[in-house]
A and B are shown apart, each in its own frame.
Chain A
Amino acid sequence: MTDFAISLENVSKSYRLWGRRSQFATLKSALLKRDLKLSPEQSVPALKDVSFAVDRGEAFGVIGRNGSGKSTLLKIISGILKPSGGKMIVNGRIAALIELGAGFHPEITGRENIYINGIMLGLSRRDIDERFDRIVEFSGIGDFLDQPVKTYSSGMYVRLGFAVAVHVDPDILLIDEVLAVGDEEFSARCIAKIQEMKLRGVTLVFVTHQLDQVRNLCDRAVWLDHGLVEAIGDPMRVVDSYLQEVSGAASSQLAEEDDRRAESPPLHEPRSDAADEERWGSGEILLKHVALTDSHGRELVAIGAGTPVTVDIDVEVRAPQEDFVFGLGIYHADGSCVYGTNTDVEGYAPQLLDANARIRFVVPSLDLVAGTYRIDAAVHTRNGRAFDYRRNVIRFIVGSRVHDVGVYRPKHEWRFEGGVTFKSIDTLRQNVPAQIAEAMREVEKPKRKK
């Protein structure tokens, strides 16, 4: 039993350039020039001696500038391209999200395309029958199911493509920038779905420019530059060195500033965070690490509505304090404040903070509506002087099956008395956390089949 999902040994790939004058040889010219050799004149290396292994169940990020060989790497792993040299072993069924809906035929209906696309991705007809309802529900295409795909909006097209691809139940999921498409709500659902697949032990390989996704979702990451592995390992470290390199190349002045920051300790440690994070304060107390975690202590970026979450704050004390307040604010993506509180307003009178500590803000049920949210974390004196204020330190996404609106979803249920009847009630749409809903779905499956 091997414990890796993907293993690459000295894999390299060169693209061939076919002739200088015309990109494509023609048979006529080949015959006229008596030159039927199928060897290219030149080749361009896209990957050079790339070696790494991805363990089963690992989430592996691939970052790098445009043209660094990221997509080539993904296409080689998926088997679309053959490596020019080296050895690659893949254990398990692969699904590649390289272009969503690539196999759709515009003239036939969504229903027929689901079947064809599913078969293309390696499912049998019976497999698709089983998954059909889930695919349709996830895609949210509704009444358009029996319309030709050419009538779909591009959003519907992509949603249907994603829905089919993730329901293949792959052992390994390759994702190439596809999460950048679609609206906020849909990409939240995509990320929630991917997180769910990760929990089920699916191996993930991500190609992305969204570095916070790499930091938050990935267990390890690789940084490719001009086809070479520049760094590999802990995603924080890899993203950091990538960012430094990128900003260094962009402006040497910035790099100098970075150095100065690194030398003057109080605040800006080299850990640069999402671009929109701001941080200020006098630095006697530092919020070293702020993370959103689940009940097992795993860091989250996507959360099912109504699930329990904790904000974990690692506090570093550089000078003991007797006057301190810890505070948190949750903001909607549009900037409006959803909730804010601190230890002072809730009656915690401070006495002494003289050693490193860990603060936990425990929320038994995160009753928010689907969307993107940000968190500010701060530690300050009671009159508001900040030791360390970290604005937008966490960005997270709430996913939900229910398409309700607003920000806050109070715990609720509907009760009916008198002459009210419903034809059917889709229990899956009621307010239950994603994982529980999934479990309910498993249980209900036999019932749903005729």
Chain B
Amino acid sequence: MSDLSTILRHRQLIAALTARDLKARYRGSILGYFWSLANPLLLLAVYTLVFTKFFPQQVVTPYPLFLFSGILPWTFFAAAVLESTSSISSNAGLIKKVMFPAEALPIVVVLSHLVHFALAIPILLAAIGVFAALGKFTISATILFAPLLMLLQTLFVAGVALTVSSASVLFRDLRDIITNLMQLGFFVTPIIYLIDAVQSRVLRALLRMNPMTPFVVAYQDIFFFGRLPGTSDIVLILAYSVGSLLLGFFVFERLRDTLAEAI
């Protein structure tokens, strides 16, 4: 658990680096932080079009809200994990030339994507408000559980990021593998469809083995369906968060000493 204490000891550094990351990313861009929304909004538009106009199906309505509440946590996960694969190798100078806590790098990536996620929430809320004003949707107090769910998901994402960031220093193709897995992952996570609408029991069971499934379903529950997540989902979320973090610390600890040499 020395990683955890390292991370806590360097919280000022992590905070400063996260702020730097965000500043550097938006400096010199016209749209600023709206860039981080461009991808989820585009996905939202495409899938809404496809599933309400091209292949109209008996999915939930209002479909855009359903889609939006699943896409945002997925984007947070996918973008943070993908970027963390190169977080250490792109900062080789820090690892080789400065006494620098390497675990800060993937954590900073995760936190800066968490900020993007958090900045997108008001837009989701505004969309919910619009649909509610049109009388097509009823707002529920379960939305208030969002911060807790985001915290747990952040732990989960941090664990994955720690694992892949250190492992990808040794295995250079991990990034390519993860890029492809993420595209697959988007479809084997119930984001554009409802998991209960899947006919096959076997397929449903398989989908539930995807660690992102309980998280996305829980977001849909509290934002869209206005209900608390099921007990089994809650148990899985807690298990995945803690398990992922422990795995991340374990892998990182094993690889830490080789980082400065192998980079």
Chain B residues near A96 (CB-CB < 8 A): 98-99
Chain B residues with CB under 8 A of A115: 16
Known: A18-B262, A80-B96. A25 touches B170 (CB 8 A): yes
Interface stretch (choices A119-127, A273-281, A423-431, A438-446) = A119-127
| Shortest Cβ gap from A368 to chain B (Å) | 36
In the complex, A27→B28 CA distance in Å? Answer: 37
How near does chain B come to A199, taking the closest CB pair, in angstroms? Answer: 25
Interface range, B side? 20 to 34
B93 within 8 A of A: yes
Q: A79, B24: Cβ atoms under 8 Å?
A: no
Any A CB within 8 A of the CB of B187: no
Number of A-B contacts (CB under 8 A): 81
A102 and B96 CA atoms in complex are apart in Å by 9
Given the known inter-chain contacts A24-B172, A103-B100, A107-B24, please indicate yes or no for A120 contacting B13, CB distance below 8 A: yes
Q: Is B12 an interface residue (CB 8 A)?
A: yes
Q: Counting CB contacts under 8 A, is B201 at the interface?
A: no
B173→A108 contact, CB < 8 A: no
Chain B residue numbers with a CB within 8 Å of A94 are: 99
What size tier do the contact residues of chain A reach?
20 to 34
Q: How far is the CB of B90 from chain A (nearest CB, A)?
A: 12
Chain A, residues 61-80, CB within 8 Å of chain B (1/0): the string is 00000000000000100111
Instruction: For B53, list chain A residues within 8 Å (CB).
Output: none
**Are B20 and A105 touching (Cβ within 8 A)?**
yes
The residue on A at minimum CB distance from B104 is A120
Closest A residue to B254 by beta carbon equals A38
Interface flag for B196 (CB, 8 Å): no
B155 to chain A minimum Cβ distance, whole angstroms, is 24
Asked whether, in the complex, the Cβ of B12 is within 8 Å of the Cβ of A119, the reply is yes
Collect the chain A residues with CB atoms within 8 Å of residue B171's CB: 24-27, 30
Given the complex of chains A and B, what is the CA–CA distance between A267 and B98 in angstroms? 47
Q: Is A99 an interface residue (CB 8 A)?
A: yes
**Contact present for B99 and A124 (CB under 8 Å):** no
Q: Which residues of B contact A98 (CB under 8 A)?
A: 97-98
- CB nearest to A26 among chain B residues: B173
CA distance A26 to B171 in the complex (A): 4
A98 to B95, CA, bound (A): 12
Contact in complex: A116, B99 (CB < 8 Å): no
Kindly name the residue among B95, B172, B177 whose own CB sees the greatest number of chain A CB atoms within 10 A.
B172
What separation, in Å, do the CA atoms of A108 and B27 have in the docked complex?
A: 8
A289 close to B (CB within 8 Å): no
A111 to chain B, nearest CB (A): 12
Since A78-B99, A102-B98 are in contact, a sample of 8 more A-B pairs with Cβ atoms closer than 8 Å, ordered by chain A residue number, is: A18-B262, A25-B170, A27-B173, A75-B260, A107-B23, A107-B24, A107-B28, A119-B16
A-B contact pairs, 26 of them (CB 8 A): A16-B262, A18-B262, A24-B172, A25-B171, A26-B171, A26-B173, A27-B174, A38-B258, A80-B98, A80-B260, A94-B99, A96-B98, A96-B99, A98-B97, A102-B94, A102-B97, A103-B94, A103-B98, A107-B28, A108-B23, A108-B24, A116-B20, A119-B13, A120-B94, A121-B98, A148-B27
